[in-house]
Chains A and B, each alone.
Chain A
Amino acid sequence: MTVDKIPTGAEKLVQCLEREGVEHIFGLSGGAVIPIFDALVDSRIKLILVRHEQGATHMADGYARATGRPGVVLVTSGPGATNTVTGLLTALMDSSPLIVITGQTNTVNLGKDAFQEADVTGITYPVVKHSYLVKDARDIPRVMREAFYIANTGRPGPVLIDIPKDISSGPCDAPFVEEISLPGYQVPTHAPQERVEAAARLLRDAERPLLYVGQGAVISNAGKAVIELAERLRAPIVNTLLGKGAADETHPLHLGMMGMHGTAYANKAVVHCDLIFAIGARWDDRVTGKVDEFCMDAKKIHLDIDTAEFNKVLRPDISLQGDARLVLEDLLAVLEPGETTAWIERCAAWRRQYPLKYPKKGGLRAQHVLDRLHHVTEGKAVITADVGQHQMWAAQFLKTAANRHWITSGGAGTMGFGWPAAIGAKFARPDAEVWAVVGDGGFQMTMAELATAAVHGLSARCLIINNNYLGMVRQWQELFYDNRLSGVDLEGNPDFVKLANAYGIEAFRIRRAADIDRQLKAARSVKGPALVVAEVLKEDNVFPMIPAGAPVSHMIIDPPRHRLEKPSGST
C-alpha cells in the first residue's frame, strides 16, 4: 500500500487552480513565491513569464475580458506585489475578474520589515473587490474557492491572495472545498417583478426612448436581449466606451459610442431623448458631462447589479437591481411596443447629417489607418486599445459587432494597458485575430512585453499610432491652455521598427495613406507577433468633443476657431 504524501501549500494551491479550470498564469518569480513556481513545474497550467508585473496584470485582465473567465497573476512579495497595484485598479474600475496571488515573507516575520516585505493587503485594500492574507495552510482550499467565486460573480473584480512562504512550503492536508459560506455576499439575479413592469410602462409611454449600454451588458452577455428590446421598442442604442460590442454596433438602430468623444448622432440622441435606460452603465462623468444638466427632462431607468450605483451620480425614476441579461429577459416578457417612428427618423437624419469624418489628404491620419484596420480585418478582430487619442479614434472607427471584441481601460484610463491586454487576449483566444491599438506614449510603458509575445511566437498584432506626442494631453493644452505645451513632446522616441526587430519581431511602417492596406495585410500574414508603426500627423485632434464638465449639448463637432474655457467640474 502506498501512502499519499501530504502536499505542500503551494501544491495544494496549484491543484485548486487546476480545479478552477485555470489554463494560464501570468507571472514573475522571486524568493517568496519560489515554492509556487516550483509546484507549477508539475502542473498542466501554462506559466507565461512576463517582463514586468504590471504587464502580468494587464495580460490577465485582457484574458479575462476576452473570455469572461478570471485571469490569474502570480508575483513575488514586496516590489513584485506593489507592481500589480495599477493593474488591480484598472481591473476594479472596469469590473474585471482577476486573481492576483502574491508571495509574502514568512508569517513569523510579518511586520518586521523583513527582506521584500510589504503590507500588501494593506496597500491594496482600496483597489480590490476582496483580499486574503493566508496565515494557515489549511485555509488554502477555502480561500481559493471563495476567491474565484467572488472575483467572477455579481459585479466582478480583482481578488488578491497574499501567501507567506512558510505557508506555501509547509504541508497542507486540508480537503478541497465545494461549499461556499459567505453570509455577507449575495449575488443578485432578477429584479422585483413590479419594478420590471413599471419600467415596461415607462418604456411603452416614451416617445423618444434611448438604450444606454455599458460594461454590465458585456459581462452578463446581454447583447441579444438589448437588440431584441431595441427592435421591439424601435429604440436607438448608444454605448459607453466599455459597452462597445455588447450589442452589435453595426445594427441599424445602433448609434455607436456616446460621451466625451462619442459620435455626434449618439450625443444628439442623448440630448433629445425623453427616456434613457441605462443597462449596466453608471453615468460616468465622461458620459454625462455636467450631471445637473444631463437628460434633465428625460425619464431615467437604471439597471445595474450593484445597488451602490443607484443614486450615486443621479436619481433614476426606476432602479432595477439584477443581472442585465436576466432582467432584460423578464422585461421583454411584459413589454408592449410604443410608437417611435418620428424619433427613429430623427436619429437617422442626425446620422446622415453628422457622420464621423476626417480629411484623407494632407498627411497620414490616425483615423484613416484605423478606418482601414476595421476594413482589412473585416470588423472581426478582437481589438485592445491603450489610452489617449488613438483610443478614442479606435472607438469611433472600429465598430464592434460582437461581445468581448473590444477591450480597453475605461474607468482607470491606464496607459500601458493595450499591448499586454492583447497578449492576454491572444492566449485566451488563439483562434481570434487580435490587434492592440496603442499610442507611442502608452506603448513605452509596457513595451518590455514584446519579449513575452516573441518567446511564445504569439500571433498578436500591435499597431502603434505614432504622433510623437502624448497626444491627448497636447490636445487639451492646445484647446484649453493657449497651446502652451508642457511635458507632452515625446522627443527621443525609439525607431519602433528597429525596436521590434531587436526582439526578433517583424515590423512594418506606414508613412503615407498608400501604405496602409499593404502594411496592415503584411502584418496580418505574419506567423508570430507583428508590429506596425503608423507615423501620423503630429497635431491632429479628436472630435466630436464634449469638454470635461460641460453639458452634452455643448458638444464641439468641428475644430473650434477660438480658445475654449478651461474645463471645470470635472478633470
Chain B
Amino acid sequence: MAAPEPATPAWRRDHVRTISLYVHNRPGVLVRVALVFARRGYNIESLVVSPAAEGHFSRMTITCSGDPATLEQIIKQLHKLVDVVHALDHTGDDAYETEIALVKVECGLHERSEVLQIAEHFGAKVTDYGENSLMLRVYGSSEKLDAIITLLRPCGLRELIRSGKILMVRGLQET
C-alpha cells in the first residue's frame, strides 16, 4: 500500500504564495494576467475572479507556486499591465483567508456514519443526501480543506471541487 499523502503537501506549505489583484474590467485582462505566469513557468494553483465593490473593477485572488525571485518579477510584471491597478503579495500578511469545497463521497446507507462524523468534526454541511452518495460543503482555510479531503479519500471520495482561496486583509489596509 502506498504511504498516505500528508494533509498539506510540502510544496504548498513552503512555496505557495497568495497574490491579490485589483483590475480594471477590460476585455483580455484575464489572459494578460495568465500569460505573465505562463511565460515564466510559474504554476497557478487557483484563481478566483469576481466583481469588486466599485463597478468596472474586479478582484482576483491567485495562489501560485515557484521560486521567490521569479515571483517578485511576476508581481512587477502584473503591476505593469495597463489594466492592473495593483498586485500585492499577501503571503504572511494579517489577512482573513477562506475557501469552499464541495465533496461527493460514494457510500451506501450503512457505510456513512464515519463520513458524517468527519463532516461534523469539520463543520461541513451535507448538501445532498442520496441513496449511494453524500455531498458535503465545507469551508475554511485551505489547510483545513486539505485535511478533510485526506480523511475522506479512503471513504469513497468521487468528486471534488474547490473554489480556490479568497483573502481579505484585516483592518483598513488595502487588499
A residues in contact (CB < 8 Å) with B:
121-122, 125-126, 129-131, 133, 135, 150, 182-185, 306-308, 310-312
Chain B interface residue number, banded:
20 to 34
**Contact indicator per residue, chain B 118-152, by CB within 8 Å of chain A (1) or not (0):** 00000000000000000000000000000000000
CB-CB nearest in chain B for A311: B72
Interface membership of B32, Cβ < 8 A: yes
A131 touches which one: B28, B73, B76 (CB < 8 A)? Answer: B28
Chain A residues lying within 8 Å of B57, measured Cβ to Cβ, are 183
Chain A residues lying within 8 Å of B85, measured Cβ to Cβ, are 183-184
**Contact indicator per residue, chain B 67-86, by CB within 8 Å of chain A (1) or not (0):** 00100110011011111111
A130 touches B73 (CB 8 A): no
A308-B73, A312-B73 as given contacts; A184 in contact with B35, CB under 8 Å? no
Chain A residues lying within 8 Å of B73, measured Cβ to Cβ, are 308, 311-312
User: How many cross-chain pairs have Cβ atoms below 8 Å apart between A and B?
Assistant: 42
Interface membership of B23, Cβ < 8 A: yes
Q: How far is the CA of A121 from the CA of B72 in the complex (A)?
A: 27
B35 touches A125 (CB 8 A): yes
Q: How far is the CA of A183 from the CA of B29 in the complex (A)?
A: 14
B24 touches which one: A133, A183, A306, A312 (CB < 8 A)? Answer: A183
A122 touches which one: B31, B76, B86 (CB < 8 A)? Answer: B31
A122-B31, A125-B35, A183-B24 as given contacts; A307 in contact with B82, CB under 8 Å? no
Q: Which of B42-69 contact A (CB under 8 A)?
A: 57, 69
A184 touches which one: B27, B69, B72, B84 (CB < 8 A)? Answer: B84
A185 touches B82 (CB 8 A): yes
Q: Which of B69-123 contact A (CB under 8 A)?
A: 69, 72-73, 76-77, 79-86
B27 touches A133 (CB 8 A): yes
- Measured CB to CB, the closest approach of chain A to B68, in angstroms, equals 11
- Measured CB to CB, the closest approach of chain A to B40, in angstroms, equals 11
- Measured CB to CB, the closest approach of chain B to A198, in angstroms, equals 21
A126-B35, A126-B39, A308-B80 as given contacts; A184 in contact with B28, CB under 8 Å? no
A121 touches B28 (CB 8 A): yes
Q: How far is the CA of A307 from the CA of B73 in the complex (A)?
A: 9
Chain B residues lying within 8 Å of A307, measured Cβ to Cβ, are 76, 79
B82 touches A184 (CB 8 A): yes
Q: How far is the CA of A135 from the CA of B27 in the complex (A)?
A: 10
Q: How far is the CA of A312 from the CA of B75 in the complex (A)?
A: 12
Q: How far is the CA of A135 from the CA of B35 in the complex (A)?
A: 23
B35 touches A182 (CB 8 A): no
Query: Assuming A133-B27, A308-B80, what are 6 further A-B pairs, CB within 8 angstroms?
Result: A130-B82, A135-B27, A184-B85, A306-B80, A308-B77, A311-B73
- Measured CB to CB, the closest approach of chain B to A89, in angstroms, equals 13
B32 touches A184 (CB 8 A): no
Chain A residues lying within 8 Å of B28, measured Cβ to Cβ, are 121, 125, 131, 133
CB-CB nearest in chain A for B81: A184
Q: How far is the CA of A122 from the CA of B31 in the complex (A)?
A: 9
List 10 A-B residue pairs with CB atoms under 8 Å apart, sorted by A's residue number. Answer: A122-B31, A126-B39, A135-B27, A183-B85, A184-B83, A307-B76, A308-B76, A310-B76, A311-B73, A312-B73
- Measured CB to CB, the closest approach of chain B to A517, in angstroms, equals 49
Chain A residues lying within 8 Å of B23, measured Cβ to Cβ, are 184
Q: How far is the CA of A133 from the CA of B29 in the complex (A)?
A: 12
In the A-B complex, list the 8 residue pairs whose CB atoms are closest, starting with the nearest: A308-B76, A184-B85, A130-B82, A185-B82, A184-B84, A184-B24, A184-B83, A183-B85
Q: How far is the CA of A185 from the CA of B23 in the complex (A)?
A: 11
A125 touches B80 (CB 8 A): no
CB-CB nearest in chain A for B57: A183
CB-CB nearest in chain B for A310: B76
